[in-house]
Amino acid sequence: MTFGRVISSPRDVFELVADEIRSFDRAKVKLISLDHQNILINCEMIYDGSFGITLLHPRKVFETAFKNSATFIILVHNHPSGSPEPSESDIEVTKKLVRIGKMVGVHIQDHVIVGNGGYKSLRARRIGPSKVKWG
């Protein structure tokens, strides 16, 4: 992983984590922390669960973002089923985190879902994440 590189698109996110995250047999969530210029600060696993991301707690998301002094964050998780299509719970969790992020000054740049050979960006679908320009 190349820290200090600019993350400027959902494709960059996919290329950063896909090889690792799509191989898991249960839902896992990584948090990508970026500075004010979308430069990668850190990328770490913040949730290791078996029931999707519905149990992902906002405290863990923003605690990690604060620890990394992130201005922007990107959530990325896998769908063990193989389909990268966002579920209703993916959308609801994202919207909730976007609202909290606005209150605490850490903006969600995107939420990318990885499946077998592909990915979907909730931002590209205009679901929740920040409208702040990439890179």
Q: How many domains does one find in the chain?
A: 1
Determine, yes or no, domain membership for 128: no
pLDDT in tens, 50-91: 666 667 889 999 999 999 999 999 999 999 888 999 999 899
Range of the domain at 97: 10-121
Determine, yes or no, domain membership for 72: yes
pLDDT at res. 24: 82
Determine, yes or no, domain membership for 126: no
Q: Average pLDDT over the chain, rounded to whole?
A: 88
Residue 126: partners with Cβ closer than 8 Å, 6 or more residues away:
none
Determine, yes or no, domain membership for 127: no
Residue 124: partners with Cβ closer than 8 Å, 6 or more residues away:
10, 110
Q: What is the DSSP letter of 133?
A: P
Determine, yes or no, domain membership for 80: yes
Please give the helix or strand (H or E) that residue 76 lies within, else none. strand 72-78
Determine, yes or no, domain membership for 102: yes
Determine, yes or no, domain membership for 49: yes
Q: What is the CATH number of the domain that holds 63?
A: 3.40.140.10
pLDDT at res. 135: 47
**Amino acid sitting at position 7:** I
pTM score of the predicted model: 0.90
Q: Are 75 and 95 in contact (CB under 8 A)?
A: no
